[in-house]
Amino acid sequence: MDPRTRLERQARPASLLLNMGPSHPAMHGTMRIMLELDAERILNAECEIGYLHRGFEKTCENKTWFNLLIYTDRLNYVSPLINNLGYAMTMEKMLGLAVPERAQLIRVLMSELSRVSDHLTCLAAMAMENGAFTVFLYMMKAREFLWDVIEQTAGARMTTSYIRIGGVRADLRPGWREALAAAVRGTRAVLKDVSGLLDRNSIFIGRTRGIGAISREDALSYGWTGPCLRSTGIAYDVRKAHPYLVYDRLAFDVPVGEHGDNYDRYSVRMREMEQSLRLLEQTAALVPEAAPLPAGPVLEPDEAIRASRRRRASGRIRLSPNLEGSEKERQPGLMTPDRPVGVPPKEDAYTTMEGLISHFLFFMNGKGIRPPKGDVYFSVEGGNGEVGFYIVSDGSDRPYRLHLRAPCFHAVAALEQLIRGRLIADVIPTFGSLNMIGGEIDR
């Protein structure tokens, strides 16, 4: 078989073949774009993915339903909580589980924080690649505001594994309302500054308006969703079209563009961030205050030993700080009571033989979560579009088949068409406007 690429075989004698990537700072991960050029004009292009391939789906088929959750963090690693949510809700649909309302509200908070973080990262890189380095710094500052709030609750900034099958891992930390309100205020101020720097900037408009345009029909044929599809004027949003969690009780708009070009993809994401900030404020107002856990008095050493023995005897112990928020008393508002799909409470595992046995059985091969035979598909609105999981169960403790519907894959499929006929300088802004995430596309 001819080892040359399709583009190499079809190249014209007078044209120049140029590789852009895969090792390139503007490739947003690792991706190769082979360009056929006439001077600086792009005659043809061929995109090659797979340089970051990690075998996500096949790996998940060899892990238990609970243990594969951590691999969803590594898909779109800028907004991992939405990946957690998509997988968890797919499993809940398969198992027929009802999630407590408090956990649903917390999920919305974490999802919208992640969405804004995702859009900030995309536009920061896109602006920097157009020469607007100040905008990059401003947006990274805003992302820190949001990641601080996520870290306070989930305990991590990127690989969170916080949203679990049946609920969430832990409750919101004390003072979360004030921290969230401050993050929202700071982010709004940054978005206002960025709008002032870019919205009417002649250089930025010249690099984005009318470049990388696509029609509605072509966008749909490629399977586009999310901000890229909405930039063409189609107001499809999974949160509106197929409401999940409590989105049907929240007021928000779906911003759309007109031309489907680089500027519209920038504009749609900017307006979507404002809508997400609205959602954060509405959701925070709906979250009730958690009942405080009983705080024990300060005891002398001998008294503390006797109190510890009494707590062990009664099944009540004080957990270590890294488990704060996941106490047994909080579980009714955080995890579904329908069936044991989460790790048994630490208080039981540490104090009773029955609790310890339950803990071992949950993690033993052939035990743990065992959904019925069948298949199911469920999707959520991710930072780049519809994130869907198709799962087939054979009744065992591991998936028989798991497939991810990654929105980045469909967006990048159209890149060759978007840059054909343009200049080399148009490749990077166009590619940046699609927000390709290597971990998601090279699954």
For 120-153, write each residue's pLDDT tens digit. 999 999 999 999 999 999 999 999 999 999 999 9
The label of the residue with tokens 């959520």 reads 380
Query: 44 and 169 share a domain?
Result: no
Beta bridge partners of 382: none
Q: Is residue 293 part of a domain?
A: no
* Nearest one of 432, 414, 382 to 223, comparing CA atoms: 414
Q: Is residue 218 part of a domain?
A: yes
Q: What is the pLDDT of residue 312?
A: 52
Query: 124 and 27 share a domain?
Result: no
Q: What angle do CA 222, 226, 232 make, to 5 degrees?
A: 65
Query: 92 and 21 share a domain?
Result: no
Q: What's the CATH code of the domain at 180?
A: 1.10.645.10
Q: Is residue 30 part of a domain?
A: yes
Report the number of distinct structural domains present in the chain: 2
Q: What percent of the chain has pLDDT over 70?
A: 92
Q: How confident is the model at residue 96 (pLDDT cuts 50, 70, 90)?
A: very high
Please compute the mean of the pLDDT values over residues 267-280 and round it to a whole number.
97
Q: How far is CA 238 from the centre of its chain?
A: 14
Give dist(CA 141, CA 413) in Å, integer: 32
Query: 40 and 60 share a domain?
Result: no
Query: 261 and 395 share a domain?
Result: yes
ω before 407 within 30° of 0 (cis)? no
Q: Is residue 364 part of a domain?
A: no
Could you give the 3-state DSSP secondary structure of residue 11? coil
Q: Is residue 1 part of a domain?
A: no
Q: Is residue 20 part of a domain?
A: yes
Give dist(CA 405, CA 391) in Å, integer: 11
Please compute the mean of the pLDDT values over residues 415-430 and round it to a whole number.
93
Q: What is the pLDDT of residue 206?
A: 93
Q: What angle do CA 199, 267, 187 make, to 5 degrees?
A: 80
Q: What is the pLDDT of residue 314?
A: 53
Per residue in 322-380, pLDDT tens? 788 888 888 888 999 877 788 888 888 888 888 899 889 888 888 889 999 999 999 99
Number of C-beta neighbours around residue 428 at 10 A: 22
Please compute the mean of the pLDDT values over residues 69-91 and round it to a whole number.
94
Q: Is residue 323 part of a domain?
A: no
Query: 13 and 138 share a domain?
Result: no
Query: Between the CA of residue 91 and those of 74, 336, 398, what are the distances in Å?
Result: 19, 13, 12
Query: 114 and 153 share a domain?
Result: yes
Pair of tokens at residue 109: 């908070």
φ and ψ at residue 379, rounded to 5 degrees? -140, 155
Query: 18 and 130 share a domain?
Result: no
- Comparing 28-37, 179-188, 190-199, 239-248, the range with the smallest average pLDDT is 28-37
Mean of per-residue pLDDT scores for the chain: 89
**How many helices and strands in the chain, by DSSP H and E?**
20, 8
Neighbour order of strands in the sheet with 16-20:
16-20, 32-38, 41-48
Give dist(CA 391, CA 374) in Å, integer: 8
CB 426 within 8 A of CB 419: yes
CB 118 within 8 A of CB 78: yes
Neighbour order of strands in the sheet with 374-381:
374-381, 386-393, 399-405
In the predicted model, is pLDDT for residue 427 greater than 90?
yes
Give dist(CA 427, CA 40) in Å, integer: 11
Query: 35 and 61 share a domain?
Result: no
SS (H, E, C) 234-280: CCCCHHHHCCCCCHHHCCCCCCCCCCCCHHHHHHHHHHHHHHHHHHH
Beta bridge partners of 42: 37
Query: 10 and 134 share a domain?
Result: no
Query: 413 and 437 share a domain?
Result: yes
Query: 40 and 91 share a domain?
Result: no
Per DSSP, 247 falls in state G
Q: Is residue 304 part of a domain?
A: no
Beta bridge partners of 17: 36
Residue 99 corresponds to which amino acid? V
Please compute the mean of the pLDDT values over residues 162-169 and round it to a whole number.
94
Q: What is the pLDDT of residue 9?
A: 66
Q: How confident is the model at residue 298 (pLDDT cuts 50, 70, 90)?
A: very low
In the predicted model, is pLDDT for residue 1 greater than 50?
no
Q: Residue 109 is part of which domain span? A: 56-287+371-441
Give every CB contact of residue 325 below 8 A, 6+ residues apart in sequence. 153, 169, 170, 171, 172, 173
CB 430 within 8 A of CB 418: yes
